[in-house]
């Protein structure tokens, strides 16, 4: 039953990606009849059509668009579970590390390299799904370690503090806050703590902004298109030194709380403690 549901979700996502039942059949190496049967069963189970079919091709219906993020999350969860089982049978269960905010994606790589240097070959999985609820993922054992800004209330998780993340207001041209006209603001939406500090510096009514979901993508957008935005100091250091970006004068820094979450009864607790030590090392804490 589970394998049939997973096949249906995979088929749904393949149609969405390729734009047709025929394209999905080719991508999945199955017949178009099988694709149609899987989608029919899924639509009957949900009680609504997931696709609009017409001369222009196949598109997601309103219900299909609503279902899309759930299907993606289900597939990610299945891949986590399946990968863990295979690794367990092979005698090597990888540590699964994730980060709530994209500013910490490079930190995941840094700690992975640190682990290899200190421990030798260590199996691990780095998760870059920032839509995932990291606290819930750790509590449900989908992740072993998560770097977060906000700690979920009521969760029985161990919490370790790391040095806070320092964000600088950067622009592609020299700029002084309160004196010069404000360019387009690149808003990376780093959560409630960030929003509260940002509101003190740049009230929403005073700024035209575009929302981007990834810090590295936002930094590239800033250098290509121009504007200003708050970015991690370490991430922008090279561009600042080269004069490609400029720190906005008279703009206060923003600091984001940085914490590590894990389950205290995790069987891999000793390895997790090494990860925490590695994070403290690479963060300079």
CATH number of the domain encompassing residue 17: 1.10.10.10
- By the 8 A CB rule, do 270 and 122 touch? no
Are 52 and 101 in a shared domain?
no
d(CA 80, CA 22): 29
Are 105 and 134 in a shared domain?
yes
Q: Could you tell me the residue range of the domain that residue 147 belongs to? A: 94-285
Tokens encoding 45? 């189970």
Are 78 and 128 in a shared domain?
no
Estimate the crossing angle of helix 215-225 against helix 233-241, to 10 degrees.
30
d(CA 100, CA 180): 34
Are 64 and 192 in a shared domain?
no
Are 128 and 220 in a shared domain?
yes
DSSP secondary structure of 70-124: HHHHHHHHHHHHHHHHHHHHTT-PPEEEEESSGGGHHHHHHHHHHHHHHHSS--E
Domain end point (choices 49, 65, 86): 86
* Structural domains in the chain (count): 2
Are 55 and 112 in a shared domain?
no
Residue 208 has a CB neighbour count (10 Å cut-off) of 9
Mean pLDDT of the chain: 86
Are 65 and 127 in a shared domain?
no
Estimate the crossing angle of helix 2-18 against helix 62-89, to 10 degrees.
130
Are 247 and 219 in a shared domain?
yes
Are 49 and 103 in a shared domain?
no
pTM to 2 decimal places? 0.66
Are 175 and 78 in a shared domain?
no
Domain end point (choices 57, 86, 115): 86
Strands 95-99 and 145-148: parallel
Domain end point (choices 86, 110, 142): 86
The tens place of each residue's pLDDT in the chain, 285 residues long, gives 555 678 888 899 999 988 889 888 998 888 989 899 999 988 888 899 999 987 777 889 999 999 898 888 878 777 766 665 555 544 455 788 999 998 998 898 899 888 888 877 667 788 877 888 899 899 988 899 999 998 887 778 999 999 999 999 999 999 999 888 889 999 988 989 999 999 999 887 667 788 887 898 999 999 999 999 999 999 999 999 999 999 999 999 999 999 999 999 998 888 899 899 999 988 875
Are 98 and 78 in a shared domain?
no
Q: Which of 156, 229, 128 has its CA nearest to residue 188?
A: 229
pLDDT per position as a tens digit, 145-191: 999 998 887 778 999 999 999 999 999 999 999 888 889 999 988 98
H/E run at residue 204: none
Are 65 and 160 in a shared domain?
no
Question: Dihedrals φ, ψ of 188, to 5°?
Answer: -95, 0
d(CA 176, CA 247): 9
| CATH number of the domain where residue 273 is located | 3.40.190.290
């Amino acid at each position: 039953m589970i394998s049939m549901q997973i096949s249906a979700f995979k088929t749904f996502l393949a149609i969405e990606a390729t734009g047709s039942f025929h394209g999905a059949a080719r991508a999945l190496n199955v017949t178009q009849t099988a694709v149609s049967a899987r989608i029919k069963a899924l639509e009957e189970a949900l009680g609504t059509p997931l696709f609009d079919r017409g001369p222009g091709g196949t598109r997601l219906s309103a219900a299909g668009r609503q279902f899309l993020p759930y299907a993606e999350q289900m597939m990610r969860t299945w891949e986590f579970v399946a990968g863990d089982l295979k690794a367990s049978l092979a005698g090597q269960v990888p540590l699964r590390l994730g980060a709530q905010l994209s500013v910490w994606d490079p930190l995941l790589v840094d700690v992975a390299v640190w682990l290899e240097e200190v421990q030798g070959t260590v199996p691990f999985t780095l998760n870059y799904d920032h839509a995932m609820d990291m606290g819930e993922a750790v509590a449900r054992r989908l992740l072993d370690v998560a770097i977060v800004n906000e700690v979920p209330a009521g969760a029985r998780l161990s919490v370790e503090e790391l040095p806070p993340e320092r964000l600088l207001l950067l622009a592609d041209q020299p700029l002084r806050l309160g004196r010069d006209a404000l360019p387009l603001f690149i808003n990376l939406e780093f959560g409630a703590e960030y929003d509260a500090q940002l509101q003190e510096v740049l009230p929403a009514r005073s700024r035209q902004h575009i929302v981007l979901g990834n810090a590295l993508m936002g930094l590239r957008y800033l250098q290509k298109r121009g504007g200003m935005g708050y970015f991690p100091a370490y991430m922008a250091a090279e561009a600042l030194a080269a004069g490609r970006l400029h720190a906005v004068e008279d703009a206060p820094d923003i600091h984001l709380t940085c914490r590590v979450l894990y389950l205290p009864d995790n069987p891999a607790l000793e390895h997790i403690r090494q990860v925490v030590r590695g994070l403290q090392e690479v963060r300079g804490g």
